[in-house]
Amino acid sequence: MTRIAVYPGSFDPVTNGHLDIIERAAQLFDHLIVAVSVNPGKKPLFSFDERVELLTEVLEPYKNVSVDRFRGLTVNYAKEKGAQAIIRGLRAISDFENEFQMALTNKKLKNEVETVFMMSQSQWLFLSSSTVKEVASFGGCVSDFVPPIVERKLLEKHSNL
Ligand code: ADP
């Protein structure tokens, strides 16, 4: 049986914290689908297409990882893709309540899809896409937080604003 997992998120933009989770999840599953989703509660800096493009470029070296996009419920998308698991990253206790609620709801909606939580490495514990965007918007250096192509795109965005 092929073990497939979906790692959903806004990825606005992808950070080294996301990459660490992707790298580790890709070792646990035969195939990992990194899926950019619409989060109605967030107003993105990067368009849907831009986020998918950045991920596609950054994830090119990973042979069992693909990039996709979806709208709607993650469990429905996971089922449609034949995935057994949804991957989520956990940073601090602040992530926990929301993630716990979402995982239980998803379990109720589709019992056969498991949510697998992976702890952030301490190195990336503080890192979020919003922090990166904030630092970049004030001209701060984000090269320690994101891959070079993302840093370039952030600089471009802010020079066009
Ligand atoms: P969402 O809008 O779905 O929260 P994000 O792109 O912000 O999308 O995050 C996607 C997933 O990656 C979430 O499970 C989030 O907790 C996790 N994540 C984000 N940043 C990190 C990080 N630095 N370390 C580990 N996991 C992370």
pLDDT digits (tens), the chain, 161 positions: 899 999 999 999 999 999 999 999 999 999 999 999 987 777 899 999 999 999 999 999 999 999 999 999 999 999 999 999 999 999 987 788 999 999 999 999 999 999 999 999 999 999 999 999 999 999 999 999 999 999 999 999 888 66
For the chain, strand residue ranges (E) read 4-9, 31-37, 65-70, 85-90, 114-119
The burial class, CB within 10 Å (0-12 / 13-18 / 19+), for 76 is middle
- Structure tokens given for 151: 């840093």
Atom 1 of ligand 1: nearest residue by CA position:
9
Atom of ligand 1 nearest to the CA of 37: 3
Structural contact between residues 54 and 149, judged by C-beta atoms closer than 8 angstroms: yes
C-alpha 15 to ligand 1 mean position (Å)? 9
Catalytic residues, which ones? 18, 42, 91, 129
Q: What does CATH list as the number for 4-159?
A: 3.40.50.620
Closest-CA residue, ligand 1 atom 3, reads: 9
CA distance 98 to 84: 21
Cβ–ligand 1 distance for 106 under 6 Å, the answer no
> What's the 150 CA to ligand 1 centre distance in angstroms?
16
